[in-house]
Structure 1
Amino acid sequence: MNQNDLLNITSATYADARQEMEQLLEAREPNYSLPQPLYNDPQMFRVDMEEIFQKEWLFVGMTSEVPSKGDYFTVEIGQNPVLIVRDAQGNVNAFHNTCRHRGSRICTEHRGKVANLVCPYHTWTYDLKGNLLFAGSEMSTSFDMKQNGLKKAFCKTAGGFIFISLAAEEPQGDFDEFLATLEEYMEPYDVENTKLAVESNMYEKANWKLVIENNRECYHCAANHPELLNSLLEWDDTNDPRAPQEFVEHYTAQATEWDAEGIPHAHRSFGPGKRNRIVRMPLKKGTQAMTIDGSAACKQLLGRIKNPKLGSMRILHLPNSWNHMQSDHFVVFRVLPISAQESLVTTKWFVHKDAVEGVDYDVEKLRQVWDATNDQDRVLGEENQRGINSIGYQPGPYSETYEFALINFMEWYSDTIRKNLNQKK
């Protein structure tokens, strides 16, 4: 069997997987978890990568991670290395981190600062807008420098958040409406005047959808997250069918304080399955932040915020991010698929840019709750994956009361995959 025969078999197998994916989603019983192959099959994972992670808007980081000209960070979307860099005009750009010469990665460090982007292989050099500046005298006279700049990825920023898309054409929909709302709701925090205090990267041996599913419900919180529940109220909003009257009254009192300070808090959702969602929730009475004892993690409040008991503004962006914005610091989470049964969960903690470590904040206190929570969720996700791999697994029902957000997630996932698959027909 020659190489072409092998490629034909691979292509046929993948085409079958795409067809099977569509059939499984068509036949899936509403309000139930997914069929087993969608959680553990490598070919189905490839469909996820091509139809979700190479086509939809993804959260990658915050603008304050690249505060000045030439500051950059890198991120891997499957097998696609991407470079995020701020140019001389203050714009944040996203490029495929692959040289136009022979494809080598250009920036090999996770973070850095450069005057120009120089490929370490043969020193091809690009400016911060991706234009090719130097390719050596060895190239032929017909070589067109202007046609060999770095390939761009779509990039948008709002409220300090950076989103990219690897799609061939910019994704359509209501994303810009969400970005406008995000800009409004993030204004009090003044993200450009924050800094990254610390970050963690956790590899979880579970499919990326299991990571998101676990995040989308607090059904498991009481039994698994004692540190988090020192400050977090598990109800998702005042419409949560489980929320008691005491919580509604607590929310109403907090909302009065938010209004007095001009802090937006109305619940906003966008897209199918509430893909993009912003909601401000109070923390437990007597607490100020998501720390082990509920006290502030940083002495300096963010932006124009005056109230240390602002609660937590929760921001969801499917397929790969959830976030908690508090008065004195904020925490952002990013999920990236590694394989059919492995994911990378990145957590970043931000404080005021003038805050001094050891004086205004202590890194251990800042991260203690979420380090514990992340590890607890890792164990839950990995055990979930092991159980799903069993021949005894079959899709189970979601609770419409406790797991309504999972139902929303699956609605978005199923609709998006089917929409993108049908665009190729």
Structure 2
Amino acid sequence: VGRTEYGLAPVATREWLGYVWVCLAENPPSFEEDVIGDVVARLGDAEAIEHYDIASLSVGKRFVYDVKANWKLIIENFMECYHCATIHPELTEVLPEFADGFAAQYYVGHGAEFGEAVKGFTVDGSEGLDRIPGVAEDQDRRYYAITVRPQVFINLVPDHVIFHRMYPVAVDRTVVECDWLYLPHVVDSDKDVSRSVELFHRVNQQDFEACERTQPGMSSRMYAKGGVLVPSEHHIGAFHDWVNERLGTRRQQAGRPLSPGGPSDGRSPPRP
């Protein structure tokens, strides 16, 4: 009786990309449609991410960030790149097209190309680590950013993968756990990954500071519409619609009212 009435509650789980994805919803949505579907929508097909064989990679570095901002601000920031030229000098040196303000997620299947003189995805553009064998020729020297709603970012480059997980702990605070994944022999041989890690560590710090500076305005009682979406932000608009659908609200044409909380209908997709 005790085990039946007071035992652990069952939850839906799925192992993918080397992580365990958990969904607490009583009726979990389709993993293929909601999670893998986000990857397909970004890359064009599911096979593209398999080239990186993420499940076989090892953690070379992990940072945990305590961000004083709502999780939706972090997602919006990750999706747009108007800010890139002004706060990401190291990133735009490696990915020159980001200086023009277009995020890599704007085009389906597009990966931002490394600069001509750049040798690797490192803080100074120097040589990276050993390339992941399965990476296709058309994926080489390119960076792909993927948002898996609600709280996962996947960043793909030829020699490593950067994997973010966000854990909202308050309406104005989010803990972000970020892994840098490399080929096992790179980690086991204790190769120096610091220049590789430092690039996106700086990007994270710069982004999270920007989000924290935005949060006070979002916390205001006057906050309602939040701004106007232009056509080049269609992917951000889709995220707003996704949130509002789960909140049971509708995005106004003049702006995008978002609750400072999160999805509350019990249908949020799995997260690792």
TM-score normalised by length of structure 1: 0.50
CA positional deviation for 1:384: 0.6
In structure 2, give the amino acid aligned to 1:206: A
Asked if the contact 2:124–2:195 (Cα under 8 Å) also holds between the matched residues in 1, the reply is no
* 8 Å Cα contact 1:228/1:373 also seen in 2: yes
Pairwise CA RMSD of aligned residues?
Answer: 3.3
Task: Look up the match of 1:286.
Answer: 117
* 3-state SS of paired residue (2:169): strand
Please state how far the C-alpha of 1:319 moved relative to its aligned partner. Answer: 1.1
Counterpart check, 1:185 vs 2:43: no
2:105–2:146: 8 Å Cα contact kept in structure 1?
A: no
Aligned to 1:175: 34
Matched, 1:343 2:206: no
Equivalences for residues 13-24 of structure 1 within 5 A: none
Q: Which residue of 2 aligns with 1:328?
A: 159
**Paired letter, 1:152:** P
Q: Match for residue 376 of structure 1?
A: 206
Letter matched to residue 161 of structure 2: F
2:84 to 208, 218, 221: 221
SS of the residue aligned with 1:312?
A: strand
Counterpart residue type for residue 216 of structure 2: R
* 3-state SS of paired residue (2:185): coil
Preserved contact between residue 357 and residue 363 of structure 1 (Cα < 8 Å): no
Select which of 183, 189, 196 maps to 2:59. 196
Question: Are residues 1:407 and 2:237 paired?
Answer: yes
Superposition TM-score, scaled by structure 2 size: 0.75
Cα-to-partner distance string for 1:177-206 (whole Å, 9 max, x where unaligned): 628957522222222321001100111111
Cα 1:153–1:183 shift into 2, 3 Å: farther
The corresponding residue for 1:362 is: 192
One-letter identity of the residue aligned with 1:334: R
| Residues 307-347 of structure 1: CA deviation (Å, up to 9, x unaligned) | 59341232221111122111111101111101111111111
Alignment equivalent of 2:71, drawn from 205, 208, 216: 208
Cα pair distance change 1:150/1:386, threshold 3 Å: same
Q: Given the alignment of the two structures, is residue 156 of structure 1 paired with residue 19 of structure 2, yes or no? A: no
Could you tell me whether the CA contact under 8 Å between 1:206 and 1:381 is conserved in 2? yes
Using the TM superposition, give the Cα deviation of residue 166 of structure 1 relative to its aligned residue in structure 2, in angstroms.
0.6
What secondary structure does 2:89 align onto? coil
Asked if the contact 2:53–2:134 (Cα under 8 Å) also holds between the matched residues in 1, the reply is yes
Distance in 1 (alpha carbons) for counterparts of 2:210 and 2:71: 13
> Contact 2:59–2:187 (CA<8 Å) still a contact in 1?
no
Contact in 1 for aligned 2:105/2:235 (Cα 8 Å): no
Provide structure 1 residue ranges, at least 5 long, that are not aligned to the other structure.
1-142, 241-266, 268-277
C-alpha displacement at 1:354, in angstroms? 1.2
Seen in structure 2, the aligned counterparts of structure 1 residues 205 and 414 have a Cα distance that, compared at 3 Å, is same
The one-letter amino acid paired with 2:93 is N
Stretches of structure 2 lacking an aligned partner (at least 5 in a row) = 250-262, 268-272
**CA 1:197 to 1:145, structure 2 compared with 1: closer, same or farther past 3 Å?**
same
**Do the aligned partners of residues 357 and 224 (structure 1) sit closer, same or farther apart at CA in structure 2, a change above 3 Å counting?**
farther
Q: Is the 8 A contact 1:206 1:341 kept in 2?
A: yes
Percent of aligned pairs sharing the same letter: 23
3-state secondary structure, aligned to 2:86: helix
Query: Deviations 1:85-124 (Å, cap 9, x if unpaired)?
Result: xxxxxxxxxxxxxxxxxxxxxxxxxxxxxxxxxxxxxxxx
Deviations 1:284-322 (A, max 9, x none): 333354311223431x22243375934123222111112
In structure 2, the CA distance between the partners of 1:179 and 1:155, relative to structure 1 (3 Å rule), is: farther
Separation in 1 of the partners of 2:135 and 2:156?
12
Look up the equivalent residue of 2:24 and give its one-letter code: L
Whether the 8 Å CA contact 2:16–2:55 is kept in 1: the answer is: no
177 and 319 in structure 1: CA distance in 2 versus 1, 3 angstrom threshold: closer
Q: Does the aligned pair in 1 maintain the 2:14–2:20 contact within 8 Å?
A: yes
Quick check: 1:353 aligned with 2:173?
Answer: no
**Do the aligned partners of residues 415 and 394 (structure 1) sit closer, same or farther apart at CA in structure 2, a change above 3 Å counting?**
closer
- Tell me the CA shift for residue 221 of structure 1: 0.9
Give a deviation string over 1:206-243, Cα, whole Å, max 9, x none: 11111111111101111111111121232345976xxx
CA deviations 1:57-88 (Å, max 9, x no partner) are xxxxxxxxxxxxxxxxxxxxxxxxxxxxxxxx
Structure number with higher relative contact order (C-alpha < 8 Å, ≥ 6 residues apart):
2
Contact kept, 8 Å, 1:207 with 1:385, in 2: the verdict is yes
Q: In structure 2, do the counterparts of structure 1 residues 146 and 296 end up closer, same or farther at CA, with 3 Å as the change threshold?
A: farther
